[in-house]
Chains A and B, each alone.
Chain A
Amino acid sequence: MALPKPNKKLTGSESSYLVEVIKGMVITLGHVVKNIFDQDRFRTIEYPDVRKPMTPRYRGAHRLLLRPDGGIKCVACMCCPTVCPARCITIVAGENPNDPAEKFPVSFDIDMLRCIYCGFCVEACPKDAIRMDTKIYEINAYNRQDMVHSKPYMINLMDRLKPEASEAYRADHTTAPAGHTPDEAPVAGGHLG
């Protein structure tokens, strides 16, 4: 696009400003009148009542997945804390009492205040133990401590979202292939509980 010459002379009506201002005002008033009579023109989503369907790739709050037998999938391999550019994952590893050959996370904390939602932890995990497919974007708390998501919190995150469907949901999601997306439709009146 050719830029206009910097010293372009204004034409007569432009240099008085007034005519051009009134032209602009006619346009904006047109919008006002149209919007008063036809409010379906608005594209605004009535947020707490209607939620925008997030794309399948949307990176929301982290959740930790369970094996079909109910144990946590994570083996505390420390790949995710290593790859995390924000250094916000803290894992204390311990020996799995049922299977001494395996490690498991005694505690698994993510400081959501530092997380930049890059998704590297999900990419790095060899066990598909951590995912960001919850589509939860309302991550908030009254104090900093509550912004550190703990292991039990992240395991139960999907249950918090849908308490009524928790059992079936968990069964489905602990075995579902990667990339599976829970729900696409806008949730009317949805609450995080």
Chain B
Amino acid sequence: MSELWTEWGDWVVILLRCVFSVAFVMQIVPLLIWGERKGAAYIQDRPGPNRAPIDIPNPLDIPRLLGDVLAARPLVFKPIVSLRAAGLIHTLTDVVKLAFKEDITPDHVEKFYWFIAPVIAMSIALCTFAVVPFGDTFLGHQLKVSDMDGGLLFVLAMTSLGVYGIMLAGWSSNNKFSLLGGLRASAQMVSYELAMGLSAVVVFLSAGSVSLSRIAEVQGQPLSLFGVVEIPALNWNVFSPFGFLAFVLFWVAAFAETNRTPFDLPEGEAELVGGYHTEYSSFRFALFFMAEYANMIVASSVTATLFFGGYNVPLLSPATIREHADLLLGVLGLGAVPAFLTFAVVAWKRQGRPFYSVIPKDDPRQNEPKFFTAVWLGAAGAHGALGVVGFMGGLAALSAWAEMPELGGDLMAVILGITALAVKVLIGCWIMIWVRWTVPRFRYDQLMNLGWKVMLPLALGNVFAAAGWIVLRHELFGPAGGS
């Protein structure tokens, strides 16, 4: 086992972490599109998407349906349950729709650049995630695609490259609305990049490195409150005064870099039709659309890594997680059971909702609450089983069987690390959605004033103040690490 592992393990892990970092972004994208629609709806007192269903056939019908598929007959069946899943299916139908729509190439576009623009937008967004760590180490392997020393510089470089997708789209579309959209995007990018880079400098100073792994690692150390209390694994940059200001500046600049409201001037539909993507249809449009959400995820994950401890779980340092892996699995597994049972009860009670009284009694959608109750009960059962495995020392047994003593602890650390990062990223994305449906778009001059006259001086001052404080502290208290 171990020998085989040493031979192939490296390659497997390299492949897995590449696949993971693309999958991480691409899996959250549909969730975000759903969150955007549902969030917008709930903010505006509407129910939001709730129609597109997946029809599940009666298991007894399946042999007949298989026959119909083979004979290429149309599939006609009465579903036992129609799953609408709170509108999640709409995202799926959107993908199908966009993939099969007619792809129109207008005659007047600059073909080559027009074709590569959406590809640039999407691939740059995915590339940026390569340096974001989603765990410390797994059996000695770095948990990020590339362990480059200039991690954060790479992020900044990539986000500024990302604007090329938008600029090229705007220019090659060869109409004035798109061109204006592209121009706005580049002007906005130049103005906010400075503030973004400068606010990140504070983080380099406190961590003493630009590598995102190192930055995340430093934040896993305990936070000491005036040398009195020590809170484990909570040395997040956002809790230091300079770090907090840097976070606010970085986050505002991230909105501008991802072209999200209130800074979405490049696609200001009121004055620019659709901005840079006016001429795009079908899957090319989908690429721009997904790139926007991928950018949101990347911006959130970089922010989480710089200011909110990245993969670190609050109160549980990686060492603690490794040491008590089995106990943690037990506690978390059994602890999740009541939550899932609550979900099951909520799902069951949905049968009394007004919606179910206006649809016909024999409609397959009537069975939906029962189905989701079953799903949540299943989840509760699975977590309970995991908890029991944890309490019985399942991870230790797994490590012993695989002859790798650190396997169990590392598995737990990786799973918790990814979960922590995902939760932080989702919270960040929700804030972006929330702001979008709250704040109106800035005017162009306000945008430039804010970028050059407010954010840039603040970021510069913050860098000097933080550097001064670090030097002063070094003089006063000697060469202590950390913040």
Q: A25–B435 contact, CB under 8 A? A: yes
Nearest neighbor of B43 in chain A, beta-carbon distance: A28
- Within 8 Å by CB of A39, from B47, B248, B439, B450, lies B47
Q: Is A97 an interface residue (CB 8 A)?
A: no
**Residue of B whose beta carbon sits closest to that of A18:** B248
Q: Are A25 and B45 in contact (CB under 8 A)?
A: no
Chain B residues near A25: list those with CB within 8 A: 434-435, 438-439
Q: Does B74 sit at the interface, judged by CB under 8 A?
A: no
Q: Which residues of A contact B438 (CB under 8 A)?
A: 21, 24-25, 27-28
Q: Is the CB of A17 within 8 A of B46?
A: no
Q: Which residues of A contact B358 (CB under 8 A)?
A: 46, 49-50, 188
Is A21 a contact of B435 with CB atoms below 8 Å? yes
- Report if B437 contacts A (CB, 8 A): yes
Task: For A41, list chain B residues within 8 Å (CB).
Answer: 45
Q: How far is the CA of A21 from the CA of B262 in the complex (A)?
A: 10
Contact with B along A117-161 (1 / 0, CB 8 A): 000000000000000000000000000000000000000000000
Q: CA of A91 to CA of B39 in the docked complex: distance in angstroms? A: 52
What CA separation (Å) do A50 and B435 show in the bound complex? Answer: 33
Contact with A along B336-365 (1 / 0, CB 8 A): 000000000000000001110011100000
A9 at the A/B interface (Cβ < 8 Å)? no
Q: Do A17 and B45 have beta carbons less than 8 Å apart?
A: no
A176–B359 alpha-carbon span in the complex (Å): 33
B42 part of interface (Cβ distance < 8 Å): yes
User: Are B359's CB and A29's CB within 8 A?
Assistant: no
Asked whether B439 lies within 8 Å of A42 as measured between CB atoms, the reply is no
Q: In the complex, what residues of A have CB within 8 A of residue B248's CB?
A: 18
A180 proximal to B (CB < 8 A): no
Alpha-carbon distance between A189 and B439 when the two chains are bound, in angstroms: 39
Q: Is the CB of B42 within 8 A of A31?
A: yes
| A17 → chain B closest CB, angstroms | 7
Q: Helix, strand, loop or mixed for chain A's interface? A: helix
B437 (CB) vs chain A CBs: closest residue: A28
In the complex formed, the residue of A with least CB distance to B353 is A39
A35 close to chain B: CB less than 8 A = yes
Min Cβ gap A19→B in Å is: 12
Q: For B262, what are the chain A residues with a Cβ–Cβ distance below 8 Å?
A: 21
Q: Mark B9-45, 1 if CB is under 8 A from A, else 0.
A: 0000000000000000000000000000001001111
Distance of A44 Cα from B360 Cα, bound (Å): 18
- For B47, give its contact among A27, A44, A50, A189 (CB under 8 Å): A44
What is the chain B residue whose CB lies nearest that of A47?
A: B51
Complex-state Cα separation, A35 to B41, whole angstroms: 10
Query: 1/0 per residue B431-467: CB within 8 Å of A?
Result: 0001101110000000000100000000000000000
Q: Which 8 A-B pairs have the closest CB atoms?
A: A32-B42, A35-B42, A28-B438, A28-B43, A24-B438, A49-B359, A50-B358, A42-B47
**Extra 4 A-B pairs, beta carbons < 8 Å, given A35-B42, A36-B42, A189-B360:** A31-B43, A32-B42, A44-B47, A50-B358
List B residues at the A interface (Cβ < 8 Å). Answer: 39, 42-47, 248, 262, 353-355, 358-360, 434-435, 437-439, 450
Query: Which A residues fall within an 8 A CB radius of B?
Result: 17-18, 21, 24-25, 27-29, 31-32, 35-36, 39-44, 46, 49-50, 188-189
